[in-house]
């Protein structure tokens, strides 16, 4: 996704002398991809001491955790919007590295002092182009999203026009609205060719995520996913940030804070990875072009 507001984008890591530091990792929840990011962060920062806390999607729990951390000299790494907001509000004096935050501006991180981050996604145009490369006949795409990602729909529509696909957005305000939205997308004369899931808090819960995947497969429609971890759960394709790259970029920012840097840092952009599920393609009778298979980072 494109950087917004005053954020600048830079994907080239700088060599910074790394000093050991206490790194506290705050996770909004254990959603898909989080573990891989944290593992890569740990591998890339062996000089540091790491402690992890899971907010389990609960702000009050996050505030209790933050209260117990006050007074410690540490560098915070926040994964997800909730963790980043809690970290910034409750521990404003600690350096903060944030990841997996779809909209840093909305989260109040754009002008935050001593904060730096890794982009939560790749440009929507690139994602849609990758999806169409894998499934050329999927020209009518249902887009399921919640309020937290509603601001991304304009960008998605512009990207769709460039790639020559039609988007059918469906806003869901809670998990209870997901079944009806799925029925609207998958049935009738205007049924979509595929369903695209954004990395939205409403959709990342285990039960809701699995429901969307199961209902789409039952209707004979593929799911385009926001993370490679959903491929194993039944999505046809994902074109999202490589979790290892996210963790490595976060570790580079942690290293800069540990080395004493206090100035504003540019937003990092992780590598993208195209992942394809050939088993799902076979079930749905989708012929994946050779060019798509050649372009893929991994094929299952």
236-261 mean pLDDT: 94
Cβ-Cβ contacts under 8 Å for 285 (sequence gap 6 or more): none
Tell the CATH superfamily of the 124-240+274-299 domain: Response regulator (3.40.50.2300)
Report in angstroms the alpha-carbon separations of 247 from 3, 83, 187. 19, 16, 40
Percent of the chain's residues with pLDDT above 70: 94
Query: What local confidence, expressed as pLDDT, does residue 184 receive?
Result: 96
Burial class (CB in 10 A: 0-12, 13-18, 19+), 58: middle
Phi, psi of 275 (to 5 degrees): -120, 135
254-278 pLDDT per residue, tens: 999 999 998 778 889 899 999 999 9
Residue 95: both structure tokens together: 């350096």
120-171 pLDDT per residue, tens: 888 899 999 999 999 999 999 999 999 888 878 999 999 999 999 999 999 9
- Its pTM stands at 0.74
CATH topology for 9-120+243-270? Rossmann fold (3.40.50)
11 has pLDDT over 80? no
Annotate 115-149 with b (16+ C-beta within 10 A) or e (fewer): bbbbbbbbbbbbbbbbbbbbbeebeebbbbbbebb
Contact status, residue 185 vs residue 192, Cβ threshold 8 Å? yes
Please tell me the least confidently modeled range out of 68-82, 103-117, 229-243: 103-117
Cβ-Cβ contacts under 8 Å for 117 (sequence gap 6 or more): 84, 97, 98, 99, 101, 104, 109, 253, 267, 268
Equal CATH topology for 9-120+243-270 and 124-240+274-299: yes
- Ordered by start, the domain boundaries in the chain are 9-120+243-270, 124-240+274-299
Residue 101: both structure tokens together: 């935050």
36-74 pLDDT per residue, tens: 999 999 999 999 999 999 999 999 999 999 999 999 999
Instruction: Give CA–CA dist 289/228, Å, rounded.
Output: 20
Query: What local confidence, expressed as pLDDT, does residue 15 receive?
Result: 44
pLDDT band per the 50, 70, 90 thresholds, residue 4? very low
Phi, psi of 207 (to 5 degrees): -65, -45
């Amino acid at each position: 996704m494109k950087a917004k507001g005053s954020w600048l984008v830079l994907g080239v890591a700088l060599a910074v002398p790394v000093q050991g530091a206490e790194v506290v990792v705050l996770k909004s929840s254990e959603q898909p991809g989080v573990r891989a990011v944290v593992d890569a962060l740990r591998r890339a920062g062996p000089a540091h001491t790491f402690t992890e806390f899971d907010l389990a999607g609960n702000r009050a729990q996050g505030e209790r955790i933050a209260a117990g951390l006050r007074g410690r000299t540490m560098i915070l790494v926040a994964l997800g919007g909730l963790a980043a907001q809690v970290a910034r509000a409750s521990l404003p004096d600690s350096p903060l590295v944030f990841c997996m935050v779809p909209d840093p501006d909305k989260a109040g991180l754009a002008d935050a002092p001593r904060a730096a981050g890794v982009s939560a996604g790749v440009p929507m145009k690139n994602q849609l182009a990758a999806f169409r490369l894998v499934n050329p006949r999927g020209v009518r795409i249902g887009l399921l999203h919640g309020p937290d990602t509603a601001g991304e729909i304009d960008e998605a529509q512009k990207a769709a026009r460039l790639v020559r696909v039609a988007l059918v957005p469906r806003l869901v305000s809670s998990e209870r609205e997901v079944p009806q939205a799925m029925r609207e997308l998958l049935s009738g004369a205007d049924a979509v060719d595929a369903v695209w899931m954004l990395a939205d808090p409403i959709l990342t819960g285990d039960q809701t995520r699995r429901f969307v995947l199961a209902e789409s497969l039952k209707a004979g429609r593929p799911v385009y996913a926001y993370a490679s971890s959903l491929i194993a759960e039944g999505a046809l394709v994902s074109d999202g940030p490589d979790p290892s790259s996210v963790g490595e970029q976060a570790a580079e920012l942690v290293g800069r804070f540990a080395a004493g840097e206090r100035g504003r840092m540019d937003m990092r952009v992780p590598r993208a990875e195209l992942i394809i599920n050939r088993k799902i393609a076979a079930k749905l009778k989708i012929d994946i072009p050779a060019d798509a298979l050649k372009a893929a980072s991994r094929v299952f």
